[in-house]
Amino acid sequence: MKIALAQLNPTVGDLAGNSQLILEATERAVSLGAELVVCSELVICGYPPKDLLLREGFACACDQAVKALAASIPKNVGVIVGHATHWNVPANRIANAASLIANGQVLATVHKRLLPNYDVFDERRYFRPADKLAPIAFNGLRLGLHICEDAWWGDPETFHHTDPMHFPDPIAELAASGIDVLINVSASPFEVNKPSYRDAILRRHVIRHQVPFLFVNEVGGNDDLVFDGHSVVLDHSGRKVLQLKGFVEDLQVVDLKQLPSPITHSPETVPAQLLDALVLGLKDYMRKSGFSGCVLGLSGGIDSTLAAYIAAEACGAANVHGIMMPSRYSTGHSVDDAVALADRLGIDAQVVPIDSAHRAYESLPVVGADLAAAPAGLADQNLQARIRGAIVMIRSNHHGWLPLATGNKSELAVGYCTLYGDMAGGFAVLADLFKRDVYAICHYINEVRECREVIPNNVLIKAPSAELAPNQFDQDSLPPYPILDGILEGLIEREESVATLSKSFPIETVRWVAKKLDRNEYKRRQMPPGIKLSARAFGSGRRMPMAARFEIE
């Protein structure tokens, strides 16, 4: 049987639009000789639908969309679609389901067995798990159809807080019933090196059960999540025979009777993965939210430089609007570097000096006296950032452009950022990038992606500075970024203690970073959404209290 893997980019809640995507993919697959088309998890409603699932009528609308799609697809082809459903569940409950539709009917429906409830996942809040899984028959084959997490049973990273033996093994259940192929429909979000990690999990099942494995993943950005695609086919020995593209929609057909020869697929470098994820995440957030243009401050620094490049790739240079906002403390090279970047990217850039607005605040009663008491002090520095944030928001409001915040994870972690200033915006492009990653991506852009100096060299070599006070540099207030990022990675992504990290870093520095991390949670709670790239991004996957006194030791 020839099977098409349809790697699609659904929009959350757009049942009609997503159904049309599936229909168009099915028609193309039929033209390529496919007898079965496999789409991703919850493709009908998009993933993750979150509390839309709690709205009265939403799951019923998904069921009706599946029936309508069944009536619309060409004859003599089957289509597997993921959707929320009320079918075959107790009253007022919902299941995460995948249905096989063909010849105008819903032939079979399976429910997800394992419901993830960690990191960004909260599926037990919404869904009822399946009691068991069984193969479904189609065109003489027994299909081991299952949904995303059902393939992650026994993975030490997924089950590191629990014993996997307390959970059923859905793949083993299917294999014990007799299957010809395993089919996993997924909405598996991107993290660095996640594609290779997933491949290893699938390969383990194939080696154990000796049947081919088809994995179909969602692609595209939905809010803070990016889905990378990278759908894949493994033969009965666990060798990769088909690899769909990453970060783009794709459709490929494979013949189970005559699988292709094994292929060698080299994973992309980390900077390449990160850049692709960032561009797709911003592009889809803008497209699906109805924005055609964006606006951001251009300081001539490394962060706003990378954010501008990502924006130009995501929505086209003509739709990116930069604002250079020099203050009395800005250096000449900052504006020069910003101008050079704008010229190379071909984006709109305007100069709006902020000194007159700054002086206006200094002339105000009460406030002016506070500012005069500590020239270039913390209040004065934050004021400059807030003036700039207000200017960006004015242009955003007037033109309908999405305002971009450009702070990185290192700064956000320790509070080296200003509420309602550089944190102001509608989307935080770099919020899950450590400073080291920002530099690595910029070098990759010049040396590999563009093979020319798009990122001005001076931006890469000069010392980072907020330029909010005379002769100010980041390293006057922060540990060197290699040290800071190493400590933060341990604290955030591995939840390590001060004692553990002090084996690799100076203990007083570790204590300082740990205290700053905890005390600035209130700032991060007010930051715009960003793109999740790591296992522990700020946002829905890392839920820390704001008013707390526990200190990491």
As beta bridge partners, residue 404 has 427
Instruction: Look at phi and psi of residue 140 and say left if phi exceeds 0, alpha if psi is from -120 to 50, else beta.
Output: left
**473 within 8 A of 311, measured Cβ to Cβ:** no
Entry field: residues in the chain: 553
- Among this protein's residues, is 112 annotated catalytic? yes
Q: What is the dihedral of CA 383, 388, 391, 395, to 10 degrees?
A: -150
Q: Which two tokens stand for residue 287?
A: 């497209």
Catalytic residue, candidates 35, 41, 313, 411: 41
DSSP letter, residue 247: S
- Give 96's contacts (C-beta < 8 A, 6+ positions apart): 41, 42, 82, 84, 111, 112, 115, 123, 126, 127, 147
Neighbours of 3 (CB within 10 A): 28
Q: Report the alpha-carbon distance of residue 108 to residue 86 in Å, rounded.
A: 14
Q: Show the CA angle centred on residue 425, arms to residues 424 and 431, nearest 5°.
A: 90
- DSSP H or E segment with residue 36: strand 36-38
Catalytic residue, candidates 112, 194, 240, 532: 112
Q: Report the alpha-carbon distance of residue 549 to residue 122 in Å, rounded.
A: 27
**515 within 8 A of 488, measured Cβ to Cβ:** no
Catalytic residue, candidates 39, 45, 62, 148: 148
Q: Show the CA angle centred on residue 335, arms to residues 282 and 421, nearest 5°.
A: 55
Alpha helices for 378-491 (secondary structure H):
378-399, 409-414, 435-444, 457-461, 474-477, 481-488
- Give 101's contacts (C-beta < 8 A, 6+ positions apart): 66, 69, 70, 73, 78, 79, 80, 81, 107
Q: Report the alpha-carbon distance of residue 488 to residue 467 in Å, rounded.
A: 24
Dmax (CA) for the chain in angstroms is 83
- Among this protein's residues, is 41 annotated catalytic? yes
Give the residue numbers annotated as catalytic, written as ranges.
41, 112, 148
